[in-house]
Amino acid sequence: MSIGISTASFYPLETEEAIAILSENSIPCTEIFFNSSRELKDSFIDYVVDIIKDSSLKVTALHPMLSFAEPYMIFSEYLRRFEESEESFKRYFEIAARLGAKFINLHGDRPTGKLPIEEYCERFKILADLGKNFGVTLCQENVNGYRSADPEFLADMVRLLGDDANFTLDIKQCVRAGYTVPEIMEAMNYKIRHVHISDHSPASDCLLPTKGNFNFRELFLDLKNHGYNGDYVIEVYNNAYKEQDEIFECYKALINLL
């Protein structure tokens, strides 16, 4: 169990530069957020491996760049696009296995999507089963503006998928969707495998951890009591800080709470 920092926190800094910064600062783990199809090439992955091989940095999870297209590619009524998307996800699973990442995040469908929850779960399971071939777990992330923002939808996934329902908890997305973190965790039935952490206040829904009102010690204890032993990755937008050093200061403050 470690505190880490997502490369997304440095966006729009190029992915490899963010990885290098994390490696140089001895951060123990990260989630790599891919932002370009060029970053899926073997030559780029080889370069990432070279960056991290002599450091303590572990890649916990990957975030595909095609999240914005998932409603169109994976969860539309046109089945052929879903079949094509399987190949896209296969590449991410291959990369995850190469980097040692155990989890890949999925945003899913928009609230206006037409697929019934049963078919949504069938497609989720197809991709999840594909990931198992590579030793990688597909995780549904709760995301504002998507069906996964709704606790009822998450609970239905647990009901329909059973052991194949796995989740990434994102604090800022809970806040943006108008739900409390405990509400979302309970809807997920605590089948949480990965956690994106951020802070918030009445003035902002996304702050660096320890800069708002959120009780991280309570979160850590609650998840521990429910068997969670995974990593916590700081994921914020770049308007949450002015200097990169602020991220590392908050990282150090969080370690004392874990």
Per-residue pLDDT at 46: 97
| Region for residue 55 given its phi and psi (left: phi exceeds 0; alpha: psi -120 to 50; beta: otherwise) | beta
Residue 202 has pLDDT above 80, yes or no: yes
Residue 258 has pLDDT above 80, yes or no: no
Beta-sheet strands, E only, within 14-117: 29-33, 58-63, 103-106
Band the pLDDT of 122: cuts 50, 70, 90: very high
Q: What is the pLDDT of residues 135-187, one digit of tens each?
A: 999 999 999 999 999 999 999 999 999 999 999 999 999 999 999 999 999 99
Residue 254 has pLDDT above 90, yes or no: yes
CATH number of the domain to which 146 belongs = 3.20.20.150
Both structure tokens of 102? 């155990």
Instruction: Note down the domain range covering 58.
Output: 3-255
- How long, in residues, is the chain? 258
Q: Which helix (H) or strand (E) holds 167?
A: strand 167-170
Residue 257 has pLDDT above 90, yes or no: no
Per-residue pLDDT at 117: 98
Band the pLDDT of 256: cuts 50, 70, 90: confident
Both structure tokens of 40? 């899926």
The one-letter amino acid at 10: F
Residue 229, classified by CB atoms within 10 Å of its CB into exposed (0-12), middle (13-18) or buried (19+), is exposed
The one-letter amino acid at 196: H
Indicate the pairing of strand 3-5 with strand 29-33: unpaired
Residue 42 has pLDDT above 90, yes or no: yes
Which strands, in side-by-side order, build the sheet including 167-170?
A: 3-5, 232-234, 192-197, 167-170, 137-141, 103-106, 58-63, 29-33
Q: Residue 110: helix, strand or coil by DSSP? A: coil
Peptide bond into 182 cis (omega under 30): no
Question: Can you tell me the distance from the alpha carbon of 115 to that of 109, in angstroms, rounded to the nearest whole number?
Answer: 9
Per-residue pLDDT at 66: 86
Per-residue pLDDT at 116: 97
- How many domains, the chain? 1
229 pairs with which residues across the strands? none
Q: What is the pLDDT of residues 210-247, one digit of tens each?
A: 999 999 999 999 999 999 999 999 999 999 999 999 99
Q: What is the pLDDT of residues 240-249, one digit of tens each?
A: 999 999 999 9
Question: Can you tell me the distance from the alpha carbon of 49 to that of 31, in angstroms, rounded to the nearest whole number?
Answer: 14
Q: What is the pLDDT of residues 123-133, one digit of tens each?
A: 999 999 999 99
Question: Can you tell me the distance from the alpha carbon of 119 to that of 175, in angstroms, rounded to the nearest whole number?
Answer: 28
